[in-house]
Structure 1
Amino acid sequence: MYSRFITAPLGAHNSWAILTTVFAGLIFIWKILRQMWNDQLWASIYFEDRHEDYDNLQDYVAWKIGDGLQIMQATAAKSGYKHGTPKEAVDKNGCFSQAKFSAIQVPSYCLWYGTYLIWYGWIPVFFTREQLPQHARGWEHTCMWTLRGVHKKLKKLHQEIRIWAVKNSEGTIRVWTPEERGCITAWKPGRPFRIRSEATIVLPDGVLNSVLEDMNKFLLPDTQEHFARLGQPHRRGYLFYGPPGTGKTSLSQIAAGKYGLDIYHINLDGFTGDIMGAVKFLPQHCILLLEDIDKMDFHAKGEEKTLSLSAVLNALDGVGAAEGRVVIMTCNQPEKLDSALTRPGRIDFKQGFSLATRRETEQLFLNCYKPLEREPPKSPSPNPKTEKRAPDVSVDPYNVEGRGYNDEELSAYVQRFCNIIPDKELPAAAIISLLVQYPNNPKMAVDNAAEYVRQYKEFQKLTSPDREVQKEEEDEESDK
């Protein structure tokens, strides 16, 4: 039949060309019809994997599906675990067991690639997770789509997912780190960590409140409107400088937790990614933490890719720089910073940090061994309808006796400890490192403080810059 009606009149060569053209035309028409179907009938929202809501969408869909059949298509490639170490992970000898700890932890699952259906009221909503070619802007994306006639519900659902995610992650924040993907630098979310309390950091009087109040004032909507009226970009830059271990990063974490801001962290010491591209995709409200700003080397070393000062300056306040973000830069030696980097507009608030004073050492000791301030527990009432009885004064609500020392002994310990720790010679991190070795045992901390200080100073001499210069001079003399 084919040979009689097509090949004979047109010839074999021409007939194959016509069939190929017809087949290509049918494919083209199918693509147009499919595109029209998608454009006219369906409304969709796409989220790249570097979007701040990407993980929230997957967690929400997995939560909505629950224990249904589709959850069997999930993967445990990304797992999240509860904070802390439960008592079940400790064996009978009082030793931690990683095997027991892993066995009792429940991993959180993310959806595998494919399409999932959930119902938003009476409206069907589809979620599709797809992989993309590596040359694309993201490596994968999630699409949320539904009927075009109810597309407004899709936007409402997206907003509800964001509210659900905020409630679900209450008490935690995320730290994002840059990840190079070919020619672009994307942000990779880390595991959420618990918000740090303001009571866990010890700083000179007024430092904590001044930084937090200034940041809160900047984040208020009235301030944003004020910047807009003046025609100024809504940005705020902070510089925390001082010796290592004095609380610069800790204060950044406390500020992030207090105002619910995620931290986008870049360690500039050795960073070779596209900082301008990374900063361009920051969310409106976040903390961009640039650590070790004084260790950046802006001079090219052969063919090695290095970070330029111009790129950093443009990332901070260039035309494409994000607004609404807080930039916190930390350094140990502010005298090494370029004046163009620290001028007003890029750095608006400078705060120095110093080694621990006697007052700060005392507060660190009390924070470690003094019971937490909280309301005494109330005795349960035998009948919920009756009036609650006053707590029994014979029962110690703070379990002071169980600590093995009373308040008078604690006061004596803290005075002895402060007499041993030299004033303004150790950072707070070094003092905390000593105290955490002896939980609930201030006497051991005091007894071992002198030896700890001696070892710390000895090690500091070995690693100090003066020691390195002296060693180089000794090597030169030995060569002669």
Structure 2
Amino acid sequence: GNLTGYTQLMCFFALAAFLKPYVLQLKYWFVYYCTSTIHIKPSDETYHMVQTWISSRGLDDTARSILARVRTKRNLAQGYSDSTKKALWYAPWEGSFVFWYKNNLLYYKTVLVDNGFHKEEQISVTCIGRSPVLKDLLEDCRLKYLNDLKNKTTIHGHRDDHWRKEKAVVARPLSTVILDAKQKEPLIKDIRDFLNPDTRRWYTEHSIPYKRGYLLHGPPGTGKSSFSLSIAGELDMDIYVVSIPGANDQMLKSLFAGLPDRCVVLLEDIDAAGAACSRDSNSEDSDSDGDVRPQKRGVTLSGLLNVLDGVASQEDRVLVMTTNHPQRLDPALTRPGRIDKEVEFQLANRGIAKNIFHFMFGQPEEIGRVSRQKEGDGDVESQADEFAAKVPESEFSPAEIMSYLLPHRSCPAAAVQHCGQWVDDLRKEKQAKKSRLEGWD
């Protein structure tokens, strides 16, 4: 009896081994001829669209392999509570599951792909037949994603020569960037005119490259990068940020080739291109907040000019370049056609100091018209005048003034009262820092 059972078992395994190649061949033919698959790379924004849709439908609960991590983005209006503190976020990870969509059975799979430097997750979705259901699915993912991004600005950084979405922030109104109206309004009008469909048509009819370049220059903390972000929010466009000290020619070329239509491109610390490319991007003079890795060779002037207006240069974009040192820029970079408009961001004069005070202590509905006195605003108006009179003319940046006012945000009288002491302390601090730097030299 035992021998018979053993013989049957051996026959079963022998049959399985014999049929295995045919089963695999049948599977291959079925997958190749009877299914459709769409692949999504993590470097493309479609990856975030699909993950957002999957998570919103709760389909990640059916996955056998799930990645868990602490949610880093949340709605600040919800406040803090035990339920929101260190909230977890789940997503399918290196596994597969099936789900129904529009009466079609779909197969969702994630695999880790080695790209040469590190492994990245790649998504694939498969359906039976040649049904357009996969495109319908991605369209639903896109609409869900765009709906979640309403009134938000998406900021894209880069990893080496690939763009990567970093975060989506609430669109910042231009009114929150304190700048002289004589500078702000013409600049916004110029950008809006450029993005007008009639303007695009005119450029095309006259065979002129459809692109626009702006140079924002001034001391650190005067709002150059913030204004660039506000431009993107005001025009409902994504912003793509490159810190020049952390890039090189080939990287810049690849990044510009990967830009989408209608976007804002922000090149920070543009004076680092060329001889200054080895400057430390984390120095006090740098506007960049990102983590910049040292490069053996930075961006050269010729490499920068090639991506701006060479044969392969990208059109249909608003280019914003920032620098703290406009005197270092080569005339070839600032000529018309590459830089169409320059805006100088200055240290705060009394008018700007007054507007910042209004912005901090006025009612929310006043934002955007902070320079106008309204009935019933007498206290804030007089305090703003008194505060502005105590702030030295063109000595401190708007960021420094804002930093001082934040701790006093609930008590404008205290901000006015202690302003003189703050001015003295900040002057001493700057003088001490200057003395230390001179001592190192």
Flag whether TM exceeds 0.5 (same fold).
Answer: yes
CA change 1:407–1:312 in 2 (3 A) is: same
Q: Which residue of the partner structure matches residue 223 of structure 1? A: 199
Structure 2 match to 1:168:
148
Question: 1:72: how far off?
Answer: 6.0
SS at match of 1:256: helix
Change (3 A) 1:144 1:209: farther
Aligned to 1:104: 85
Q: Does 1:158 find its partner at 2:138?
A: yes
1:38: Cα distance to partner?
4.0
Aligned equivalents of 2:199 and 2:70: distance in 1? Answer: 39
Deviations 1:72-103 (A, max 9, x none): 632123734313276546xxxxxxxxxx6x86
Within-5 A mapping of 1:458-469: 458-463=428-433
State the shift of 1:208 in Å.
Answer: 2.4
SS, match of residue 61 in structure 1: helix
Structure 1 residue identity aligned to 2:159: E
Tell me what 2:50 maps to: 57
For the pair 1:450 / 2:430, whether they are aligned, the reply is: no
- Does 2:159 correspond to 1:179? yes
1:208·1:251 contact (CA, 8 Å) conserved in 2?
no
Pairwise CA distance, 1:248: 0.9
CA distance in structure 2 between the partners assigned to 1:143 and 1:219 by the alignment: 36
Gaps of 5+ in 1: 1-22, 90-99, 375-405, 476-480
Structure 2 counterpart SS, 1:335: helix
Q: For residues 280 and 304 of structure 1, do their structure 2 counterparts lie closer, same or farther at Cα, with a shift above 3 Å needed? A: same
Given that 1:288 and 1:325 are in contact with CA atoms closer than 8 Å, whether structure 2 keeps it comes out as: yes
Partner Cα distance (1:452, 1:370) in 2:
22
Contact kept in structure 2, 1:48 and 1:138, CA below 8 Å: no
**One-letter amino acid of the counterpart of residue 318, structure 1:** G
The answer to whether the 8 A contact 1:49-1:140 is kept is yes
Task: Return the alpha-carbon distance in structure 1 between the equivalents of residues 245 and 216 of structure 2.
Answer: 16
Shift of residue 31, structure 1, vs aligned partner: 8.7
Distance in 2 (CA, whole Å) between partners of 1:300 and 1:205 is: 34
- Deviates further, 264-273 or 339-348: 264-273
Instruction: Establish whether residue 283 from structure 1 lines up as the match of residue 260 from structure 2.
Output: yes
For 1:234, which of 197, 210, 214 is the aligned residue? 210
- Greater shift, 53-62 or 266-275, is seen at 266-275
Alignment partner, residue 356 of structure 1: 348
Deviations 1:351-393 (A, max 9, x none): 111122222211111111112228xxxxxxxxxxxxxxxxxxx
Answer whether contact 1:82 1:105 (CA < 8 A) is retained.
Answer: no
Letter in 2 for 1:286: C
Contact 2:63–2:96, Cα closer than 8 Å, also in 1: no
C-alpha distance in 2, partners of 1:87/1:210? 39
Shift of 1:270: 4.0
- What displacement does 1:306 show? 2.5
Please state whether the residue corresponding to 2:321 is helix, strand or coil.
Answer: strand
The structural deviation recorded for 1:159 is: 2.3
Q: What TM-score results when the alignment is normalised by the length of structure 2?
A: 0.80
What SS class does the counterpart of residue 282 from structure 1 fall into? coil
Taking only aligned residues, the RMSD between alpha carbons, in angstroms, comes to 3.2
Equivalence map 1:73-472=2 (5 Å): 73-77=65-69, 79-84=71-76, 88=80, 104-135=85-116, 139-151=120-132, 153-180=133-160, 185-272=161-248, 274-298=251-275, 304-373=296-365, 407-463=377-433, 471=439
Q: CA deviation at 1:449?
A: 0.9
Give the partner amino acid of 1:133.
Answer: D
Kept after mapping to 1: 8 A contact 2:244/2:268: yes
The 1-side partners of 2:411 and 2:157 are apart by 38
Cα separation, 2, equivalents of 1:238 and 1:323 = 14
Report how far residue 36 of structure 1 moved: 5.4
Q: Is the 8 A contact 1:298 1:306 kept in 2?
A: no
Native 8 Å contact 2:273 2:304 kept in 1: no
Task: Tell me if the contact between 1:265 and 1:290 (Cα under 8 Å) persists in the aligned partners.
Answer: yes
Structure scoring higher RCO (CA < 8 A, sep ≥ 6) equals 2
What residue in structure 2 maps to residue 7 of structure 1?
none
Larger radius of gyration: 1
Cα separation, partners in 2 of 1:235 and 1:243, compared to 1, 3 Å: same
Cα deviation, residue 251, structure 1:
0.9
Residue 69 of structure 1: how far off its partner (Å): 4.2
Amino acid at match of 1:51: D
Residue 282 (structure 2) aligns with: none
Identity of aligned residues (%): 25
Residue type matched to 1:187 in 2?
Answer: W
Counterparts in 2 of 1:288 and 1:189: CA distance versus 1, 3 Å: same
Q: Distance in 2 between matches of 1:234 and 1:34?
A: 51
Matched residue, 1:394: none
Is the contact made by 2:36 and 2:127 (CA closer than 8 Å) also made in structure 1? yes
Structure 1 residues 210 and 35, CA, compared in 2 at 3 Å: closer, same or farther?
A: farther
Q: How much does 1:469 deviate? A: 8.7
Cα deviations by residue, 1:142-169 (Å, 9 ceiling, x for unpaired): 2233234313x33233223211101112
Contact 2:212-2:317 at 8 Å conserved across structures: yes
Q: Secondary structure at the match of 1:132?
A: strand
| Residues 1:63 and 1:343: Cα distance change in structure 2 (over 3 Å) | same
CA drift at 1:205 = 1.6
Q: Tell me how far apart the structure 1 counterparts of residues 29 and 246 of structure 2 sit (CA, whole Å).
A: 49
| Post-superposition offset of 1:258 | 1.8
Q: CA deviation at 1:327?
A: 1.5
Distance 1:323 1:54, change over 3 A: farther
| Distance verdict in 2 for CA 1:77–1:108, change over 3 Å | closer
Q: For 2:105 and 2:117, locate their aligned partners in 1 and report how far apart those are by CA, in whole Å.
A: 29
Distance 1:35 1:311, change over 3 A: farther
SS class of match (1:45): strand
2:52–2:141 CA contact under 8 A, matched in 1: no
Query: Matches of 1:87 and 1:78 in 2, distance apart?
Result: 17
Structure 2 unaligned regions, length at least 5: 1-16, 279-294, 367-375
| Partner SS for 2:364 | coil
| 8 Å CA contact 2:239, 2:266 repeated in 1 | yes
**Partner SS, residue 75 of structure 1:** strand
